[in-house]
Structure formats: C-alpha cells, structure tokens
Amino acid sequence: MSKIFAGVIITTLALYGLSPMDASAAVKAQTVAYTVDNEKFTGYLTYDDAYSGKRPGIIVVHEWWGHDAYARKRAEMLAKLGYTALALDMYGTGKLASHPKDAKSFMMAATKSVGQMKSRFLAAYDLLKKHNTVEKSKMAAIGYCFGGNVAINMALAGVDLNAAVAFHSTLTQWVKKTPKDLKTKIRIFNGADDPFLQKPTVAAFESVMQASGADYKHVYYPGVVHSFTNPEATEKGKKFKLPLAYDAKADEDSWKQTTELFRKIFNSVR
C-alpha cells in the first residue's frame, strides 16, 4: 500500500518564472510539497482569496514534459474563474524534461503501473479535496497530452470526479477494466490532423465509453495537430521536428467549452 504524506510550502511566483497576477483579483498561489512512496513531489495550488465560500476543486495534469509554467498558468486561469486549482506533479520534484527522450523516460516511469499512477494522482487529489476552500463533492480534472490520458484513466479507475477533460490526448488506456456506470462526464478535444492519435485507439476508447454509459463528447479541430493549446508548441515542434503547433482558435474554443461545462455542472457564476 502506498504511503502518502503532505505538507505545504509557500514561495514567490518569481521563483517559477510566473508573471504577477492582478492584485484586484486577490488570487493566491503557493507551492505544495508532498511525498508518495518516499519520493518528493511539488505541485502548485491557487485560488481567489476574495471569495470566502467553498468552491469546486480542479486538478490540472501537465503535459509529458513535466510540471511546468504552462500547467501552473492553467491553474491560475481556473482560479480567476472562481475555482481552487492544483497543478499536480506526476514525475517527482525537479523532473522537468528539456528533450523528448527525457519526457518519454519520465512518462514511462510514472505509468509503469496503474497503482503507482493512481497513488501519485490521489496524493494531489486528496490535498486539494482537503483544502479549506474546496467543496468536497465538487471535483474535476483536466489534462494536456499525457496529462489528458491521466485525467481520463483516473475516472476509469474510479476516482470520484464530476468531470474529466483531456486536451490533445492520445487516449492511451492504462486502466483496462471498463466501469459499468461511469458517472464522470468525459470531454476530449483533439486536432483532427494529430498523427499521435491513432484510429484503432480512438475506436477502442469509444467502445469503452459506450459500454460504460458515459456522458462523453469528442471534439475534433480540422487542420490542427498535437499540443494546440500551448503557445510554445510551435517552437518546440520545430526544434525537435515533431508535429506540434499552437492553434489559437482551437485553444480558445476548447477552453470555452470546458469552462461552460464546469459552470453547468457546478452551478458556477463566472
């Protein structure tokens, strides 16, 4: 059985290269340090301190590069919408890839077993759920690339999530058991021209969704490739000769649909 311990460390945004937030928004941010199976992990928690009531908690799962400024930015965006968000760490403190080979190595290590993957996810999930700003019955997860796969698989693994949203996900299914009555709402946003998205994988995943009776929607964007939500994707694609490219319209539309979903299921007002 995995042993999970948690603690909180507050640090400055500048340390992580993040721009200062609008003071009027009263958004607070802090790093959170926790341990899973004797390994250290560092997440990033943020919320709007101007609002005193409890609100939904949303987990943000990073791309295969690791826990970075992009994942933290998405957490901040959710905080400004009235949620408490935690950008978790699936790899371990300091494990941020600068090359695809390292990213693949980190990803393979993190997903070597469903049990380990779930333990790492639940460590952050439990931290967020126990935060004094969070309504425990209102939890969701979003993820990008590898992170989207994690969010979906955690729903399939039985983690209590009202919604799981995946952006440019390859739909890799590590959890093989199909739930008979999946309560989590599943939303997938992908580029129609993403070469990482294989038709057999999509077909297999859609069969799982149908068998589980899930509230499921898969949106495709014509002419769009992998990593379309990340403004740094195009540069990385050129650098490593990978089919990565930012697409502003797809980014904006997928985010709009995601926030509309959250407003609907959580009765949010922002």
For residues 79 and 93, give the distance between their C-alpha atoms in angstroms, rounded to a whole number.
23
Strand partners, 32: 8, 43
Q: 26 vs 143, which has greater pLDDT?
A: 143
Q: Which domains does the chain have, with CATH numbers?
A: 4-266 (3.40.50.1820)
Over residues 9-14, the mean pLDDT reads 34
Helix axes 146-156, 114-130, angle to 10 degrees: 90
Residue 245 in this model has a pLDDT that exceeds 90:
yes
Over residues 36-53, the mean pLDDT reads 95
pTM here is 0.91
Give long-range contacts, CB 8 A cutoff, 24+ apart: 248-251. Answer: 249/221, 250/189, 250/191, 250/221, 250/224
For residues 45 and 47, give the distance between their C-alpha atoms in angstroms, rounded to a whole number.
7
Q: 77 vs 10, which has greater pLDDT?
A: 77
Residue 18 in this model has a pLDDT that exceeds 80:
no
Residue 7 in this model has a pLDDT that exceeds 70:
no
The pLDDT, as a whole number, for residue 176 is 87
Over residues 142-155, the mean pLDDT reads 98
Residues 6 or more apart whose Cβ sits within 8 Å of residue 101: none
Residues 6 or more apart whose Cβ sits within 8 Å of residue 72: 16, 18, 29, 44, 46, 87
Q: How confident is the model at residue 6 (pLDDT cuts 50, 70, 90)?
A: very low
Residue 31 in this model has a pLDDT that exceeds 60:
yes
The pLDDT, as a whole number, for residue 15 is 31
**Chain mean pLDDT for the chain:** 91
